[in-house]
Structure 1
């Protein structure tokens, strides 16, 4: 199933802040939009019996600060049923709930669409500016990485080995029983958290790293 990459212009043009002082409580912060986008995805996926896990930078923020990294532009999740998620039925339902599914740089992503009825998510929308025409102009979105099960892998009885898209050299253990906390709410994640964070962010992952 292919998503039109040009449809990125359905995303709202937001001017939300990525300041290190930002929190998920401030409507002018991108972290606020990301937090509420994640809450929606959690509810939506449960309704459709879709499994997902928190990975990469979102997992880093949860482990290090128990919240969303204030200067990040995205939420990183691994999804197990990409084909179903990309069907027209699901895309249309997502749109009805105020979110737009698009593709950029070979990855499905989800943004707040420009006609979202939730005014809190659009508090920083600049309607005078033309809609985004590249991923670099979208200030808050969810990255949807495909997660594939590695068959015949030797693991414990309730844990399976998976490969996450774009990181095939690193394998993730997933039992769907491990949880992490973001703003006092728990979400599913991988089992081998420390190994994952060291691999992608080095042994210094607990130290604050502000992007250049």
Structure 2
């Protein structure tokens, strides 16, 4: 976490990856979750699917600020699986994510240090393949435009969002088209000026509530 990103990030979608170390197979799943209960559901599904595995080790971090964490060695020597998995999640600055590493033993013992490295690497390499989602405090803004102009302004706001750390909300269509954009507070004056320039002053920007919003990295 930094001043620019005061909340931990999460990932956009589940990712799976396989790592083979000295004949042992380490199958890793990392998945975004909304709660501890969600994480437990993911873990239960993996354990059901990989019922014949030697170990299904787990680590999770949950909560907006990443203040809840759990891990399990699932029969591996204490501290050699769940803890190094959890440390990777912490080091990456993530929350609302669960990691499950399924191990099929290949007949060659790895030792304590080898297990720590294997489980940590399994999660780290899987996260390298994940798309990050940042969480930022953004301000809701809306503009109303005629339906005939909705496409043009939707494109304008979409391009603007990509350049200024904003994200599109859900449009509403009534008598006019109401377009929503979530914007960093410091960018509000720029958005107002850019809209005024694009519309010759015809479109007004309305601001609403502040909220923590997921923004794709």
Whichever structure has more helix as a proportion of its residues is: 2
Whichever structure has more strand as a proportion of its residues is: 2
